[in-house]
Chain A
Amino acid sequence: MSGLLEVQGIDARYGNFQALFDVSLSVDAGETVAIIGANGAGKSTLLGAIAGDVAVSAGTIRFDGADLAGVPSHQRVGRGIALVPEGRRLFPSLTVEENLLVGAFRRRPGPWTRERVYQLFPHLVPLASRAAATLSGGEQQAVAIGRALMANPRLALLDEVSLGLAPLVIRQLYGALPEIRAAGTSVLLVEQDIGQALRVADRVSCLLEGRVSLAGAPKGLDREQITAAYFGPHGLEGAEAVG
């Protein structure tokens, strides 16, 4: 079966520090895949490599059958890959509405419009003309998701959507996921909260120190396996000693 996204054996490094080692992963059309792992395991680097923000030093990333090597990030958006970056990274001096419109810069046709995003997150409607910098963290995260959807992606990359947010807000944001999937968008999300990841994902990959330590459907994985893959074979202590 050929996936929408095929990551094969990629390495990525920042200077002398290698962040990813021989990482492979695939996402099929309509699928939601979660990447879990501890801090510094390379999750965000992997999303960055797919979005074109991080250079890949070995291996290939194919999207819809085409090799993405040498394709700059702005063109990847045109092909249907949109990133919700870690830490939101909204344009602070632009209003909520303008942030959404910038998301639609490539004018890719598709189901997502401003109206549809406001339907998905009705609490953004009264904030439309506010500068993004003045919003709360949860509101900013909703805008960041909306901005990515405005690109009408075939694959949405969600990086640590729940980071630093209250449980109620996290539930509200994840509540949007079924509708995003119903619109035909595949989702690859990074999550530190294992429980959250297992609830929403069709498949899970766990990263440990830049390597895939476990992959499979949530139902087929038991808690011990996941703990071992998350913290390493030596448990917390071992992971710390290596890290």
Chain B
Amino acid sequence: MDWVNAVVQGVLLGGVYALFATGLSLSFGVMRLVNLAHGQLALVAAFATVSLTQATGWNPLVALVVVVPAMAALGYLLQRGIFNPTLKADPLTSILVTFGLAVVIENVLLERYSADSQGLYAGSIETASIRLTDQLAIGWFRLIGLLTAVAVLGGLSLFLTRTRLGRALRAVSDDWRTAGLMGIDTRRVNGIAMAIALATVAVAGVFLGIQTTFDPSEGNVLLLSAFEAVIIGGLGSVWGTLAGGIVLGVAQTVGAQIEPGWSLLFGHLVFLAVLVARPTGLFPKAVAA
């Protein structure tokens, strides 16, 4: 029963990993931009929520209503102001710029919030659970996290396949130059893609902040798990990202079940195993671009 429990908790944990991975996957898929500041940007959302909840007394889940649009706006401005000009140079330029941004954000957060751990408190929902059997219970909060991930990814999938703008995003992903020749303003579309990416990472950051404590130095650990979920799931596949997050989550909880200190290690090992056995991920994009 302990093992069943570990797997169930892993699946639930995977939802938040998938949310982290979505934005990374989107910015790489559309802009070919490897955003090394992704983890730090999640922390920006989490810390902004700390300030907002302190100032207003709101539940952090309510604060999402403000934080998500604000992060989307930040994403649009970052893309148009900083990232777009670097994209036409070689790929290294944009990676270095995002790395620099990561360093800047981390230090600004340290300056403003200090190195102390912070947490977000969502009230009784954090500890409420559904008891399935004597040994198996599902936490409401984790379940909401997973359902949110499914809803966000489902919405994104519908957006990408059913809307004019979503198709434009995919066209830019396939071939940005031709997309421009077909009338698509690629710089604007890139901005929209980054806005969506940071909106999803804002949700992920706030959920993570409720789940556990965080401090300004944790960005790169978050980035690493997001990367692992993306690679496991396969680049460019929305549902693959969810699968990647869940595989990573299950690997960590099963690892912790074997030996409590092995949680992160097991996640990395599964990631490496997938990379060796299926470098394209479990659910690669159907057609090679």
Kindly state whether residue B179 has any CB partner on chain A within 8 Å.
Answer: yes
Kindly state whether residue A110 has any CB partner on chain B within 8 Å.
Answer: no
A102 touches B168 (CB 8 A): yes
B286 cross-chain contacts in A, Cβ below 8 A: 93, 131
Kindly state whether residue B186 has any CB partner on chain A within 8 Å.
Answer: yes
For B170, B182, B285, B286, the residue with the greatest tally of chain A CB atoms inside 10 Å of its CB is B182
B164 touches A101 (CB 8 A): yes
**How many A-B pairs fall under 8 Å by CB?**
78
B182 touches A77 (CB 8 A): yes
- Binary interface encoding of chain A residues 74-105 relative to chain B, with 1 for a CB under 8 A from any of its CBs, else 0: 11011000110100010111100010011101
Kindly state whether residue A67 has any CB partner on chain B within 8 Å.
Answer: no
Chain A: minimal CB distance from B62 (Å): 37
A98 cross-chain contacts in B, Cβ below 8 A: 167, 170
Q: How far is the CA of A72 from the CA of B182 in the complex (A)?
A: 11
Partner of A101, one of B167, B180, B285: B167
Partner of A91, one of B175, B180, B186: B175
Q: How far is the CA of A91 from the CA of B184 in the complex (A)?
A: 13
19 contacts between A and B (CB under 8 A): A53-B180, A53-B181, A74-B182, A74-B186, A77-B181, A77-B182, A82-B183, A85-B178, A91-B171, A91-B174, A91-B175, A92-B174, A93-B173, A93-B285, A93-B286, A94-B167, A94-B174, A98-B167, A101-B164
Kindly state whether residue B185 has any CB partner on chain A within 8 Å.
Answer: yes
Chain A: minimal CB distance from B161 (Å): 8
B168 cross-chain contacts in A, Cβ below 8 A: 102, 105
Kindly state whether residue A147 has any CB partner on chain B within 8 Å.
Answer: yes
Kindly state whether residue A73 has any CB partner on chain B within 8 Å.
Answer: yes
Given A105-B168, A131-B286, A93 contacting B174 (CB threshold 8 A)? yes
Q: Given A73-B180, A77-B182, A89-B175, 12 other A-B contacts at CB below 8 A?
A: A77-B183, A91-B174, A92-B175, A92-B288, A101-B164, A101-B167, A102-B179, A102-B182, A103-B183, A105-B182, A105-B183, A131-B287
Kindly state whether residue A133 has any CB partner on chain B within 8 Å.
Answer: yes
B288 cross-chain contacts in A, Cβ below 8 A: 92, 133
Partner of B182, one of A75, A92, A93, A151: A151
Chain B: minimal CB distance from A83 (Å): 5
- Binary interface encoding of chain B residues 234-255 relative to chain A, with 1 for a CB under 8 A from any of its CBs, else 0: 0000000000000000000000
A102 touches B181 (CB 8 A): no
Chain B: minimal CB distance from A89 (Å): 4
B181 touches A51 (CB 8 A): yes
Kindly state whether residue B289 has any CB partner on chain A within 8 Å.
Answer: yes
A72 touches B287 (CB 8 A): no
CB-CB nearest in chain B for A108: B183
